[in-house]
Structure 1
Amino acid sequence: MNSTTKSARPARTAFLALLFASAASSALADAAADVTNVEEVTVTARRREETVQEIPLAVSVIGGKQIDQVGAFNVNRLTQLAPTLQFYSSNPRNTSVNIRGLGVPFGLTSDGFEQGVGIYVDDVYNSRVAAATFDFLDVAQIEVLRGPQGTLYGKNTTAGAINITTNQPTFDFQAKGEVSVGDLDYRQVKAAVSGPLSETVAARLVVSSTSRRGTIYNVARKVWINEQDNLGVRGQLLFQPNDNLNITLSADYSAQDAECCAQIYVRTGATQRPLARQYAALTTALNYAVPSTNPFDRLTDTDVDLNAGNKLGGASARVLWNVGPGTLTSVTAWRFWDWEPVNDRDFLGLSIVAKSQNPSQQDQYTQELRYNYTGERFDYVVGAFAFHQRIDTQGTEAQGPSSSRWNLTGALASNPAVLNGLVAYNTQWLKSTSLATYGQLSWKVTDALTIQPGLRINYDKKSGYYERKVFDGQGAPVLYGQTDPIKVAQRGILAPQVSAPSFSDTNVSYDLTVSYKAAPDVLAYATYAKTFKTGGINQNGLPVDAAGNPITAAGAIKPESVQHLEAGLKTQFFDRRATLNVSLFRTEIEDFQVTVSNGQYGVLRGYLANAGKVRSQGVEAEFNAQPTERFRVYANGAYTDAKYLKFTDAPCPPELSGGTTATAGQTPSAPGVAGGISPGNCDISGQRLPGISKWSASYGAEANLPVTLVGHAGEAYLAFDGSYRSDFSSNPSPSAYTNVKGYALANFRAGFRTPGGFDVYAWARNAFDEEYFEFLALGPSNTGLVVGQPGDPRTFGVTLKAAY
């Protein structure tokens, strides 16, 4: 851990608290304003400002106020408000963000593929999904765009996009602050100040700090792990020389330095490995037992000093220039991402995998130009986009003294020196370039009927390099051609390899939306979209043939080809005090990109491949109402049926793996038969995709009463926010051992606020202390070990906010 960073926490918190105190004293003096019953929500989902009920698009809009109130300070917490948004993270690098069950292959992340949910902050594309793990900084609004967004948002939005808009510099002085304290030593401080520097220049500065004790106790090292330690800062300058020109310069930096991230023992399941090589026999032979077989005791004994060092930031220049009848927008940006991990990939107190870490450094550059025009009968957006990225990774994979017993047989298994100290040094880099032009037209055929076609042409090129050098415990190289049994055994665990995969392609995305305004507050629409997610290259080692040579054909994977149909209805009633939006969708993807493993231990992170075809279909509904200024209620729900339509050569689940591989004419053994015959691969066509619940919902209500407290008029309020999701598969090939049970979470808050911006409330999250898993995973070598990441226990605290 970084001791300097840790010792700086009290000073950094005190500094932010001073900024907060200044804002709080002013806010308490301001307590008179009318409550607005109904508020129009403006979005920029189509790259121009519109009200959410007027756009023919399935979009969930979550305001900054609601985000703060429910404690949704990152994308993970946002899933409790958007039912069809899924988030899984074993650490910041290995993070998946999906919408409607689609987006990122479930499993360990490879640099060589792209996400299917685009993440945008103030018009800047964030290519690495690790950005989703950071705290939100001074967010004004988040739009979750569901379904393909390939025309306006690009090639890698086959499942949707998350469009984050932050608060901008103002020419009137503003200050706001927030302090939260809670159990588990939770501390969160946020502060923002904005105002003029001259008649034409305004500035905004935002800082945020979050820290919390870990939720899992390491009994071996006597420390709490899976903690939070986040720091973020952003500065913006707005230059507005006249009403026709705005130039915004922005720079931000975020850092995480948490002792994280561990998954802990959940259960074991029988595999087809010989019985002596399954978990119970191996741990007995090594005289080992986990601290607890109840994962909700939240105990581990991992023997590695974990770290999730993560830094992300960049700078951008956004120019909005009113030219002629429309607006020209230019967005120029540079982003960086540095990842410095320390992991324990065997998940146990045993030293099997002694070291597994892949530090990475990324730089990306983007440039977008677009022109927006809004007319009486025609609106259009045309633009061009350029992207370049370079990622460098330096990996180290080392085996420990328990590895021989865990992975080998016979006399070699009894000799720790065979694998102890065996180490692989991986060097890899990736270059990626993308160019696109696009356009979307809205033709108002009549006052009620609008036809909206869109088109995007995209070119992608990727090239990469991967080299793994392997050395034994004495520092001697491990090479092909060595026939000594020890060297052969070592190559079976870590094998040297060199590959230089590449990929290039041009693709066309297009869509057509027809919308009809049946009444002033009723909009019906239907959409067809044909889009794609760009191809990829394998950057973490290739599978090898019988001679041990890399299978070069597996170096690149095909683009995903997506066809999407959607129909929706947007309505408002009761004088626009209530809103009900419904959408039905069906998405089919050919050459779906997945992460697989063929049982070769040396392919440590799995590799990328294409499944034949998948489908996600379902229905979503969003309802909210505010019948009076004293009460509001919302309920959002979704039914999602996502499954593989065709995947005939998938990796088998653990209960069908580990035995002797079946040859022609042999019948594989029943699941879990020790020493049995395992199929070479499995047909999982018709089975469901990982990570997606069939049923999901979010719901809540708030009631308030006018009160006067210490001479200040305001509202006392009580609020509830809940979420539910049914069970889901947590393995790319569904397994009886990795199915996560459904769960419901309940959050409460009660407090007092004034119209001037003062707000103090107590809160409880996961108030009923629901025991649930965020995901489950398999331990190494198919011994039957299942590990998991328990969700947060019940937490409670107090938040004090003020604005001036």
Structure 2
Amino acid sequence: MKTLNKTAIALCIQSALLSQFSIAQEQDVAAKERSLEKITVTAQKRTQSIQEVPISIATLSGERFESMFAGGEDILALAVRVPGLYAETSNGRVAPRFYIRGLGNTDFDLAASQPVSIVMDDVVKENVILKSFPLFDVSQVEVIRGPQGTLFGRNTTAGIVKFDSVKPTDDFDAYVKLGVGNLGTLNFEGAVGGGLAENLAGRFSVLSQNRDDWIDNAYTGEKDAMGGFDEKAWRGQLLYKPSDDFSALLNVHGRELDGTASIFRANVFTKGSNDLNENFDRDVLYYDGDIDGNGADNNPQEYENYGASLKLEFGLDDMSLTSITAYEQAEGYSLGDIDGGVVLNEPGDINGDGVEETTFPGNIAFSAVTQDNLNDLEQFTQEIRLASETDDALGWQVGAFYYDSSFNVTSVDGFFGATTVFHENTTWAVFGQTSYQVNEKLNVTAGLRYTYDEKSLVVGEQNVDGFALVIGAAAIQDYDDINVDDDQLSWELSANYKVDSDTSLFARLANGFRAQTIQGRDVAFEADPSVAEAETINSAELGIKKDLLEDTLRVNAAVFYYEIDDMQLTAIGGGANTTALINADKGVGYGFEIDVEYLVSDYLTLTAGYSYNHTEIQDNGLTILPCGANPDFGATGNCTVFDPRPDGFAASIDGNAFPQAPETIFNFTARYATPIGDDGELFIFTDWAFQGETSLFLYDSVEFTTDDNFEGGLRIGYENYQNNYSIALFGRNITDEENVKGGIDFNNLTGIVNQPRIFGIEAKISFY
């Protein structure tokens, strides 16, 4: 009996141990099945794991990307959604200005260059209008931080934002997505793709974003006078691949925009404060801006852009040859009541409060309304690249690039009339990059690029139909043609050390340049054009990329330091409202960024990112006129300036932060899902972005410095896996924050404010 008991006890213990072992195995298997997706990028113009590329890179895709645009947002929705990345505009849904690690360009002219390059489907979008092409049917966004001059050329001193659309395949797939929201918001997106014939596949994608006008013009009494938009865009792709050794991808695309340009709000700051005052009302403006003599224009905006690219890939013996040919064209206009209010010839009771005023709201020095027309923009690019395709320790790629662009800009001012300037830009470059696998842990990369860049400006007709010319306040000026050229060598040296299968350390030294720039906008206001010399940057960064907790936690971090010689800046404003290019002796930036993604469980996923950017202009002799200051009239300006003012008017900007450079950025997302039945789930997704202290202009002032801006988004919905559909309630800027994004300083304290809260419902169905 005792023997039987001992046997039974032994069997029970053995069974318990086996049960625990089985549970441990199941948990181990479950942990291995629950791991973060492996991310590949093309930051070095070849497909690589993001964890092995010696560059600081962040990516956006899937729900985290798509949720940003649920309310009809444009490309600016990317601002502060990635550590170190910022974007803003004073041109509505066109001409976005991007900043990485604090480095960007605040110039609002249509000929402005930027140190952040936008690359869409392997084609650089150089002009600011081309940079605003709508985002839809996107597979992935890569934010590549730091100078990228070797492989991508000039004007990439801050970095690159790279977009890749979903490509055609032989497998059929399609989707339609419809969203309806407040303020008459109606969005539609769809795509269909698959095999069309033997060796031929295609994909067609469309986007429609609409919002009703919702802002009243109380001066004219017009309800719902402005604020809306109608954006249409499409993309067609054909992929011909008869063998593994050859493929041809044709991309044809277009967009049409009819909407409202940026909304300028007069005197929404009180001198000595950066808080929005009683003059700010989201839903009401007082506009008298009139270009054509037919009454207030209400800031209309219209643009068209069409383009095509052909990518050819050839497989050769141990090599590949890639050719990318692209053409873009665009035209359109934007009009703005720049003073943001009303200026009367005779006193009147503008807002019905019984008080007669000559300007409203607040004191406006003079009326300012301008329209910028972009005409005949044409951009042609050609890249040819030859790369090794072996498993050898030594890898390489060499190539050549050609760029040619021309366009003209007509600036129409209510006083000076219309003036047209013609711009041309030609660039060519040769480049090479090589990488060597020293051993199983260490890989080193070196690259070199030679670039030649040439620009010209020709002044056409001036003061056409201008009142200033009629009364003798302006005269036809005789400007010589401006031609500038420069050539530069850019280089990089980097190393990636694989500590173990989950950890990589990298170091990178890089050099790049932003080509010389010509600014012709001031010609429209009886001032000379300006030219900025090329700027060069030297950058160093160290980073770590690590996967933890059985590949459920990913942490990527980098520290950086850079110096810019002959830094290009744009002095905007002053009492004369100039837009002049200048060079500072030096600009310095340093800081760090960290990206974290954590798959907490099968049901909860978290992401977070943080960046710190310290930037500083270094030029002890550089001064600019701030906020309406004009020594000719004895005006010291209408804002509170902290900078030294040696002559009582101009402000010394030595030691100031770069304009529109957030000192800190923090973003966070969380997605929680719970199963509903066997084929669906209920999910909640939220995303938040915080922006630290940011100076809007080159000078340091109370009124034009923002801090602690934030916005949040929310999606609550149901997704069915069996039938491939989802439906969700969404909200953007859910707390209806009123964040200042920009300002105009030359004749009053004008502000530009973010979009209001948008909420609605969105449904999507996919077909396979």
The TM-score by the shorter chain falls in which range? 0.7 to 0.9
1:671 Cα deviation after fit: 6.1
Answer whether contact 2:179 2:760 (CA < 8 A) is retained: yes
**What letter corresponds to residue 193 of structure 2 in structure 1?**
S
1:628 Cα deviation after fit: 2.1
* CA distance in 1 between partners of 2:271 and 2:706 (Å): 18
Question: Of residues 281, 284, 288 in structure 2, which corresponds to 1:299?
Answer: 284
* CA distance in 1 between partners of 2:239 and 2:639 (Å): 67
Question: Of residues 359, 384, 408 in structure 2, which corresponds to 1:369?
Answer: 384
* CA distance in 1 between partners of 2:101 and 2:638 (Å): 35
1:51 Cα deviation after fit: 1.2
Residue equivalent to 1:236: 237
Work out whether 1:389 is the aligned partner of 2:405.
Answer: yes
1:55-74 mapped onto 2 (5 Å cutoff): 55-71=53-69, 74=74
Task: Report the secondary structure of 1:688's partner residue.
Answer: coil
Answer whether contact 2:210 2:231 (CA < 8 A) is retained: yes
Work out whether 1:765 is the aligned partner of 2:764.
Answer: no
Answer whether contact 1:269 1:655 (CA < 8 A) is retained: no
Residue equivalent to 1:177: 176
* CA distance in 1 between partners of 2:314 and 2:741 (Å): 45
Residue equivalent to 2:444: 451
**What letter corresponds to residue 564 of structure 2 in structure 1?**
I
1:518-533 mapped onto 2 (5 Å cutoff): 518-533=499-514
* CA distance in 1 between partners of 2:599 and 2:573 (Å): 54
CA offsets 1:274-316 (integer angstroms, 9 cap, x no match): xxxxxxxxxxxxxxxxx99331444212123221111122011
Residue equivalent to 2:665: 696
1:136 Cα deviation after fit: 0.5
Change (3 A) 1:452 1:765: same
Question: Of residues 270, 294, 303 in structure 2, which corresponds to 1:310?
Answer: 303
Task: Report the secondary structure of 1:358's partner residue.
Answer: strand
Question: Of residues 564, 568, 575 in structure 2, which corresponds to 1:589?
Answer: 564
* CA distance in 1 between partners of 2:312 and 2:212 (Å): 42
Residue equivalent to 1:573: 548
Change (3 A) 1:323 1:739: same
CA offsets 1:47-84 (integer angstroms, 9 cap, x no match): 01111111111111111442113337532111242131
1:69-148 mapped onto 2 (5 Å cutoff): 69-71=67-69, 74-91=74-91, 92=93, 94-104=95-105, 106-111=106-111, 113-148=112-147
Work out whether 1:717 is the aligned partner of 2:690.
Answer: no
CA offsets 1:500-531 (integer angstroms, 9 cap, x no match): 21111110000111221111111111111121
1:584 Cα deviation after fit: 0.4
Task: Report the secondary structure of 1:469's partner residue.
Answer: coil
Change (3 A) 1:510 1:543: farther
* CA distance in 2 between partners of 1:218 and 1:738 (Å): 26
Q: 70-79 vs 739-748, which deviates more? A: 70-79
Question: Of residues 668, 675, 686 in structure 2, which corresponds to 1:706?
Answer: 675
Work out whether 1:754 is the aligned partner of 2:720.
Answer: yes
Residue equivalent to 2:44: 46
Answer whether contact 2:180 2:187 (CA < 8 A) is retained: yes
CA offsets 1:456-515 (integer angstroms, 9 cap, x no match): 100011111124533687x7956xxxxxxx63xx23xx7745342111111000011122
Answer whether contact 1:108 1:595 (CA < 8 A) is retained: no
* CA distance in 2 between partners of 1:589 and 1:429 (Å): 29
* CA distance in 2 between partners of 1:354 and 1:797 (Å): 37
* CA distance in 2 between partners of 1:441 and 1:312 (Å): 37
Change (3 A) 1:453 1:471: closer
* CA distance in 2 between partners of 1:387 and 1:472 (Å): 36
CA offsets 1:119-167 (integer angstroms, 9 cap, x no match): 1111011111233434202100000101111111111100000110001
Change (3 A) 1:683 1:152: same
CA RMSD of aligned residues (A): 2.8
Answer whether contact 1:452 1:513 (CA < 8 A) is retained: yes
Answer whether contact 2:179 2:763 (CA < 8 A) is retained: yes
Question: Of residues 791, 797, 801 in structure 1, which corresponds to 2:754?
Answer: 791
1:610 Cα deviation after fit: 1.1
Q: 746-755 vs 245-254, which deviates more? A: 746-755
* CA distance in 2 between partners of 1:476 and 1:208 (Å): 44
1:214 Cα deviation after fit: 4.1
1:654 Cα deviation after fit: 2.3
1:339 Cα deviation after fit: 2.1
* CA distance in 1 between partners of 2:245 and 2:476 (Å): 61
Answer whether contact 2:210 2:229 (CA < 8 A) is retained: yes
Change (3 A) 1:314 1:64: farther
Question: Of residues 379, 395, 401 in structure 1, which corresponds to 2:395?
Answer: 379
1:190 Cα deviation after fit: 0.6
Answer whether contact 1:597 1:607 (CA < 8 A) is retained: yes
1:35 Cα deviation after fit: 8.7
1:190-201 mapped onto 2 (5 Å cutoff): 190-201=189-200
* CA distance in 2 between partners of 1:392 and 1:35 (Å): 57
* CA distance in 2 between partners of 1:598 and 1:310 (Å): 26
Answer whether contact 1:209 1:232 (CA < 8 A) is retained: yes
**What letter corresponds to residue 619 of structure 2 in structure 1?**
K
CA offsets 1:348-382 (integer angstroms, 9 cap, x no match): 12375464112112100000011222433112221
Task: Report the secondary structure of 1:151's partner residue.
Answer: helix
CA offsets 1:516-564 (integer angstroms, 9 cap, x no match): 11111111111111211100112223699xxx9x66xx64320011111
Residue equivalent to 1:20: none
* CA distance in 2 between partners of 1:233 and 1:792 (Å): 25
* CA distance in 2 between partners of 1:215 and 1:788 (Å): 19
* CA distance in 2 between partners of 1:660 and 1:605 (Å): 16
Question: Of residues 602, 616, 630 in structure 1, which corresponds to 2:603?
Answer: 630
Residue equivalent to 1:264: 265
1:345 Cα deviation after fit: 2.2
CA offsets 1:235-271 (integer angstroms, 9 cap, x no match): 1111111121110111100111003332112435669
Answer whether contact 2:231 2:255 (CA < 8 A) is retained: yes
Task: Report the secondary structure of 1:735's partner residue.
Answer: coil
For normalisation by structure 1, the TM-score amounts to 0.82
Answer whether contact 2:411 2:524 (CA < 8 A) is retained: no
1:191 Cα deviation after fit: 0.8
Task: Report the secondary structure of 1:69's partner residue.
Answer: helix
* CA distance in 1 between partners of 2:611 and 2:241 (Å): 44
Change (3 A) 1:633 1:767: same
Answer whether contact 1:37 1:628 (CA < 8 A) is retained: no
Residue equivalent to 1:157: 156
* CA distance in 2 between partners of 1:424 and 1:497 (Å): 17
Query: Gaps spanning 5+ residues in structure 2: where?
Result: 1-31, 289-295, 345-365
**What letter corresponds to residue 575 of structure 1 in structure 2?**
E
Answer whether contact 2:80 2:691 (CA < 8 A) is retained: no
Residue equivalent to 1:332: 325
Residue equivalent to 2:765: 802
Residue equivalent to 1:28: none
The alignment of Structure 1 onto Structure 2 pairs a total of residues equal to 694
**What letter corresponds to residue 401 of structure 2 in structure 1?**
F
* CA distance in 2 between partners of 1:222 and 1:259 (Å): 15
**What letter corresponds to residue 411 of structure 2 in structure 1?**
G
* CA distance in 1 between partners of 2:321 and 2:592 (Å): 37
* CA distance in 1 between partners of 2:110 and 2:163 (Å): 25
* CA distance in 2 between partners of 1:574 and 1:320 (Å): 40
1:423-502 mapped onto 2 (5 Å cutoff): 423-467=416-460, 469-470=462-463, 477=469, 487=472, 490-491=473-474, 496=477, 498-502=479-483
* CA distance in 2 between partners of 1:426 and 1:606 (Å): 15
